[in-house]
Amino acid sequence: MRSLRAFLLGATAVGAVAYALLATLALSAQRGGRTLDLGFGPLRLVAVAEEGTAVVTTFGPGLVALAVVGGLANLVAASILRHRSGGGPDRVD
**pLDDT string in tens for the chain (93-residue length):** 888 999 999 999 999 999 999 999 999 999 998 999 999 889 999 999 998 888 899 999 999 999 999 999 999 999 998 888 775 565 555
- Please tell me the distance from the alpha carbon of residue 34 to that of residue 52, in angstroms, as a whole number: 14
Q: Domain range holding 49?
A: 2-85
- Please tell me the distance from the alpha carbon of residue 58 to that of residue 46, in angstroms, as a whole number: 6
Residue 31: CB atoms within 10 A of its CB come to: 9
pTM equals 0.82
91 domain residue, yes or no: no
93 domain residue, yes or no: no
pLDDT at 91: 57
92 domain residue, yes or no: no
